[in-house]
Amino acid sequence: MKAIISASELATDLAGPRPPTLLDIRWQLSTAASPRFDGRAAHAAGHIPGAVFVDLDADLAGPPGPVGRHPLPDMDHFGAAMRAAGVSADRPVVVYDDGPGWAAARAWWMLRWTGHPDVRVLDGGLGTWEGPLATGVEETTLGDFRPAPGAVRLLDADGAAALARTGLLMDARAGERYRGEVEPIDRVGGHIPGAVSAPTMENLTEAGHFRSAAELAERFKALGVTEGTEVGVYCGSGVSAAQQVLALTLAGIPAALYVGSWSEWSSDGSRPVAVGSDPQ
CA-wise closest residue to 22 among 113, 77, 97? 97
SS3 letters across 175-219 = HHHHCCCCCCCCCCCCECCCCEECCHHHHECCCCCECCHHHHHHH
Fill in the amino acid letter for 263.
S
End-to-end, the C-alpha distance of the chain in Å comes to 37
Using alpha carbons, list the distances in angstroms from residue 268 to 72, 182, 234, 241: 18, 19, 16, 20
Active site residues: 235
Helix or strand or coil: residue 24? strand
Residue 134: beta bridge partners?
Answer: 47
DSSP sequence for 57-83: HHHSS---BTTBSSPPPPHHHHHHHHH
Helix or strand or coil: residue 88? coil
